Amino acid sequence: MVLPAGVTVTAVRFRGYRQTVSDTSNCTFIRVENDTTTTLSTLTHATTGWATVSASLTEGVSAGRTYVIQVGLVGVAAAADGRFGWFEVDYTMPSYDKGI
């Protein structure tokens, strides 16, 4: 995921599904910079059914940084018992005073 340099990531969310508490549905938001990875947030579905999980962040995006999401799904009884719906990022853009 490429984000514009200069923005600040303020939150991440994902929607996942677990049939039972034995199943797994999680999503990890990762920064990649100079061949180094840093986990910024791991969102873990902790109930059953569909759920939206979110986390607040303050991540300044600069040139040379890219972002990856890693999804972990495990269905114990059936493959479809752990599901991924979507992932989203909230960010703010800097304000620029143009002297107007």
3-state secondary structure of 81: helix
pTM, 2 dp: 0.88
Strands (E) located in 1-100: 8-18, 24-33, 36-44, 49-60, 65-74, 82-92
Residue 21 lies in a domain: yes
66 lies in some domain = yes
Question: Which pair of structure tokens corresponds to residue 5?
Answer: 């340099």
Phi, psi at 79, each rounded to 5°: -60, -35
Residue with tokens 């059936």: 78
In a domain, 37, yes or no: yes
Task: Specify if 98 maps to a domain.
Answer: no
pLDDT in tens, the chain (100 residues): 889 999 999 999 999 999 999 999 999 999 999 999 999 999 999 999 999 999 999 999 999 999 999 999 999 888 789 999 999 999 999 877 666 5
* Residue 73 within a domain: yes
Q: Give the CATH number for residue 53.
A: 2.60.40
Amino acid at 51: A
